[in-house]
Amino acid sequence: MGLALANHLEDSNERVNSMIAMQKRLLESLPPQVNHQKRSIAEVTESNVAHLLFQLTSSPTPISPAKKRSKRVSSKRSLVWTHFDTGLRGQDPIATCKYCGQVYACDRSTHGTSTLWHHLRFLCPQEPLKGQELQRKNPRTPKLSYSIEECRQALADMVIIDEMPFRTVEGEGFKRYSKVLQPRFDPPSKVTVARDCMQRYVEEKPKLKKIMKNQRICLTTDTWTSKQNLFYMSLTAHWIDDEWKLQKRILNFCSVADHKEETLGKRVEKCLLDWGIDRLFTVTVDNASSNDKLIEYLKGVSKDWKGVVLKNRFLHVRCCAHIVNLVVKSGLEEHNSSIDKIRTTVRFVRSSLARLKLFKKCAELEKIPSKSLLTLDLETRWNATYLMLERAEKFEKAFARLAKDYRPFKAYFPNKEPPNADDWIVARHMLCFLKLFEKVTTRLSASLHVTSSIVFHDIMLMRAKLVELVGGEDTTLSSMAYFMKLKFEKYWEQEGNLNYLLFIVVILDPRHKLNYLKFCLEMLYGLDVGN
């Protein structure tokens, strides 16, 4: 080794001497005007060469392996560092637990993160990761494991959440899509999926029963008849949870033998006992006569339950949105030729695709910016008439052009003329009148927030509007308002038809309290009854 070092030094001296000679020849070749700089350049060159010679001839300083590895700098990619604070203890890096203060060595050249993960999962007194899987990589990294049970459970959840028919899983397109996602999973039959959905119901039912335990429950029930003359009933529960949030769950949806009060009452009673509900607060139903007897049946069977309020005296709540529907329909039943003409006009346009294209062309020529489509009203929904008038009145000029350019349009009215300017004026007046009731219906039909605090105010608002129009100069609106006021009085101005719990809501509102309620009751029932 000494001989090799001597040879190395000899070669280094020869290279340094050749460099010095080259520098001297370069200085001699410089012109005379820079002769005064030769000395300084030579001095710098000799000093640099001397320093180079010293580095070549001096022995190398030994470097320990530990210090050499410590110079490596890498970023903290593991999620474990979100739970530890890093620092130095002397020359050694350390990691301190944010929860208990335990200190571990964390030199990343000699230590990994397994000890830190083990501490978080098993040793830390606060157990921040107890029961969780070890996450050493990015949490977005998907699992590579395959479980047929998890796939079937996810498939059942998809069918339930998206309200898909069971036969969807047997479609060819769904099978191809499933094979792309997971080639090893064979979609089950619709019978198996239905069985899995039922199993999910069995698993979730005890959890929901535990959540509803000791909660004050408000029920809503409704019945209807299908096209096949089959009778159905639904039962929905509403309550305010411990975090003051409105909760809604469908407890039952089943077929019944008939719509008689005893049949419905027994089915509701059975459902309540099955779910363990005894703290019943109110039951909201529509205004069918059978529902009145249903409430009487429920009052009788539940009056001794420990959770009832005042022996179920205020159990019955009439559906306010249904009453508004009945009130407005009673006014629309009054024959109105203007509405009949507009309805016939809309029916003509919607009767064929060719007529609809022709109507759109007329709207473009009249430069009508509205893109809404015409709709026909329904007998069971009064606000459908409102929507029909609201959309049709925007196309008044398009209808006029259609009547002028298209002869079959006038022939569609055998006994009357198409709507004229006066008919559209009447329609706009009715829209202004019905706008209030449409807003009230929308507010009272909400299902994501509590509406009991606005019911009484909307009732008083509708009453004031009807009283104003009954004595108005417009004979058409006055006649409608008169019949609507009669229906309004039947349900809300007769003593006892309005649930007194709605009065409690007004009293508890700090903006109104008892004085406002007293004023409104005097308007509804008079001074003697209102006080």
Asked if the structure places residue 365 within a domain, the reply is yes
Asked if the structure places residue 522 within a domain, the reply is no
Sign of CA dihedral 471, 473, 477, 479: positive
Token pair listed for 269: 């009673």
Q: Is residue 27 over pLDDT 80? A: no
Sequence letter at residue 508: L
Asked if the structure places residue 66 within a domain, the reply is no
Cβ atoms of residues 30 and 24 within 8 Å: no
Task: Specify whether 431 is located in the same domain as 339.
Answer: yes
Q: Is residue 405 over pLDDT 50? A: yes
Looking at residue 199, its pLDDT comes to: 94
Question: Based on the structure, what is the number of domains in the chain?
Answer: 4
Helix axes 501-508, 452-470, angle to 10 degrees: 100
pLDDT digits (tens, 9 = 90+) for 452-507: 888 999 999 999 999 888 888 888 888 888 989 998 888 887 766 788 888 888 89
Task: Specify whether 108 is located in the same domain as 180.
Answer: no
Q: Which residues pair with 280 in a beta bridge?
A: 217
Task: Specify whether 337 is located in the same domain as 412.
Answer: yes
Question: Tell me, what DSSP letter sits at residue 305?
Answer: S
Task: Specify whether 338 is located in the same domain as 306.
Answer: no
The CATH number that applies at residue 277 is: 3.30.420
**Quick one: how far is CA 427 from the chain centroid?**
37
Asked if the structure places residue 67 within a domain, the reply is no
Q: How many residues does the chain have?
A: 531
Looking at residue 134, its pLDDT comes to: 53
pLDDT band of 200, cuts 50, 70, 90: very high
Question: Tell me, what DSSP letter sits at residue 43?
Answer: H
Average pLDDT score over residue span 54-66: 47
Measure CA of the first residue to CA of the last residue in the chain; give whole Å.
118
pLDDT band of 206, cuts 50, 70, 90: very high
Task: Specify whether 288 is located in the same domain as 363.
Answer: no
| DSSP string for residues in 173-225 | HHHHHHHHH-TTPPP--HHHHHHHHHHHHHHHHHHHHHHHTT--EEEEEEEEE
Cα separations in angstroms, 488 against 430, 459, 494: 18, 9, 9
Asked if the structure places residue 45 within a domain, the reply is no
Task: Specify whether 410 is located in the same domain as 335.
Answer: yes
Task: Specify whether 465 is located in the same domain as 440.
Answer: yes
pLDDT band of 526, cuts 50, 70, 90: confident
Q: Is residue 524 over pLDDT 90? A: no
**Range of the structural domain that residue 334 is part of:** 328-498
Quote the CA–CA distance of 294 and 5 in Å, as a whole number: 110
Asked if the structure places residue 96 within a domain, the reply is yes
Asked if the structure places residue 349 within a domain, the reply is yes
Task: Specify whether 155 is located in the same domain as 265.
Answer: no
Looking at residue 496, its pLDDT comes to: 67
Mean pLDDT across the chain: 81
Task: Specify whether 447 is located in the same domain as 490.
Answer: yes
Quote the CA–CA distance of 33 and 14 in Å, as a whole number: 33
Average pLDDT score over residue span 289-299: 87
Q: Is residue 70 over pLDDT 70? A: no
Task: Specify whether 493 is located in the same domain as 384.
Answer: yes
Asked if the structure places residue 336 within a domain, the reply is yes
Task: Specify whether 488 is located in the same domain as 348.
Answer: yes
Say which residues have a Cβ less than 8 Å from residue 315's Cβ, sequence separation at least 6.
280, 281, 282, 283, 295, 298, 299, 308
Helix axes 2-28, 38-57, angle to 10 degrees: 170
Minimum mean pLDDT range among 20-29, 66-75, 112-121, 348-357:
66-75
Cβ atoms of residues 297 and 265 within 8 Å: yes
Q: Phi and psi dihedrals of 147, rounded to 5?
A: -135, 120
Helix (H) or strand (E) holding 255: strand 246-256
Task: Specify whether 179 is located in the same domain as 221.
Answer: no
In 3D space, the residue among 487, 481, 476 whose CA is nearest the CA of residue 340 turns out to be: 476
